[in-house]
Amino acid sequence: MKKRRSHNHNDEHIDESWLIPYSDLLTLLLALFIVLFASGSINNDKLQQIMISMNTALKGQGNSLIIKENAGITKEVEKKDASKLAETEKLQSLKEQIEQYIETKGLEKVITIKDEPKGIKLSLKDVILFESGRADLKGDSLIILNDLLDLIKQVQNPISIEGHTDNVPITGGRYKSNWELSAARALSVLYFFETNGIASKKLQFAGFGEQKPVFPNDTLPHRQANRRVDITILKTE
């Protein structure tokens, strides 16, 4: 009877050795989630502190590797942040120089420049670039575009060129619609840039016709403002 009871007692004993690797796995998963969360933050000092704390709390070669790998991620994030900051400073410097040029030449009524999320945007009214209903750059516009291009060449960012019109339908002439006219005007500016030293791969264009007015087309000044070419020096990141 005693032997039988002893045998039954051994049968009821549960092997709990599996808990050790399971616990290690949970610890590693927790460490991974913390590091991923910290990596998503732009606060690099906070990320470094978390890594140091984890390295202290989690002993072992595997956990140390996680810390080292994510330290590399932190350095890469810092590198990208520095590159983005340098680009922002260059674009702001360019914007200030263009603003000074516009003021010096007395072009405030026909050229504007402003910051946008995708870059800095120059808006040129059609009256300084084209004759009515045409898409060929007129003589005086070449001087202005060349001056602007000399400034723009200071940066290597891609450039988007967009043509816009008012809502007055086209009747007769070379172009059948405002779509065609706006696209042709944007393309004329693109060709000028390409001919004068901007790499083709950095250029893009679009014609929006009357679809993106800056003002309602209810007065002559508003329609004049809507007839424009927008040149945006795009951010690279």
pLDDT computed for residue 1 by the predictor: 46
A 10 A CB-CB count for 211 gives 12
Q: What is the pLDDT of residue 225?
A: 96
205: its two tokens: 């264009």
Is residue 233 scored above 90 in pLDDT?
yes
Q: What percent of the chain has pLDDT over 90?
A: 61
The pLDDT, as a whole number, for residue 109 is 95
In angstroms, rounded to a whole number, what is the distance separating the alpha carbons of residues 46 and 72? 15
Q: Output the pLDDT for position 83.
A: 82
Both tokens of 132, joined, read: 């009515």
CATH code given to domain 105-234 = 3.30.1330.60
AA letter at 215: F
pLDDT tier at 138, thresholds 50, 70, 90: very high
Integer Rg of the chain from CA: 32
pLDDT exceeding 70 applies to what percent of the chain? 68
Give the position of tokens 């424009």. Answer: 228
Q: How far is the CA of 120 from the CAs of 99, 116, 152, 166, 189, in angstroms?
A: 11, 6, 11, 23, 17
Q: What is the 3-state secondary structure (H, E, C) of 113-133?
A: EEEECCEEEEEEEHHHCCCCC
Q: Is the pLDDT of residue 2 over 60?
A: no
- 29 falls in which pLDDT band (50, 70, 90)? confident
Please enumerate in sequence order all residues whose Cβ is within 8 A of that of 66, keeping only pairs 6 or more positions apart, or say none: 28, 31, 32, 35, 54
SS3 state at 164 = strand
Computed over every residue of the chain, the mean pLDDT equals 83
Q: Where along the chain do its domains lie?
A: 2-82, 105-234
Q: Is the pLDDT score of 5 beyond 60?
A: no
Determine the Cα–Cα distance for residues 96 and 91; give it in Å rounded to an integer: 9
> How much is the average pLDDT of 24-32?
71
Answer whether residue 26 shows pLDDT above 80: no
For the residues 152-174, what does the mean pLDDT come to? 95
> Is pLDDT at 32 greater than 90 in this prediction?
no
Give per-residue pLDDT as tens, 50-61. Answer: 666 656 655 555
Mean of pLDDT values over 90-105:
96
Query: How far is the C-alpha of 227 from the C-alpha of 213, rounded, in Å?
Result: 8
Q: Is the pTM of this model over 0.85?
A: no
Residue, of 147 and 12, whose pLDDT is higher: 147
